[in-house]
Amino acid sequence: MTAIDQIKADIEANDVVLYMKGTKEMPQCGFSSRVAGVLNYLGVTYKDVNVLADADIRQGIKDFSDWPTIPQLYVKGEFVGGCDIVTEMTLSGELDKLFDDKGVAYNKDAADQIRAANA
């Protein structure tokens, strides 16, 4: 199986996938830590893929999405974006709407708390 095949399989098999440096329990960069932190705080169930563990996946996800940076968030097969986009979407409420529209469970109160803390 090629890296692209593995990426496609992961994205199809999981509602939410985060390609990141490190793991959701131990992120290895600040940007990955921020996105994983948001998802963890919101109680979202997601698959984390540590791109540092596989150079083919690390390059493959960039080729697959045509997006040059890590982390990369996918929701129901759709590429959402990286750290800045996820942060903006969280603060604007767009991430809530995306999760609602896609049927992804998350803690709405936690999302409101993030916005209140950053108002």
Quick check: 96 and 106 in contact, CB under 8 A? yes
**Which amino acid would we find at residue 116?**
A
Alpha-carbon radius of gyration of the chain: 14
83 is in an annotated binding site: no
Of residues 102, 108, 107, 106, the one with CA closest to residue 15: 102
**Helix, strand, or coil (residue 71):** coil
Query: Which residues are CB-neighbours of 114 under 8 A, at least 6 positions away?
Result: 38, 41, 42, 90, 91
Annotated binding site: 29
Annotated binding site for [2Fe-2S] cluster: 29
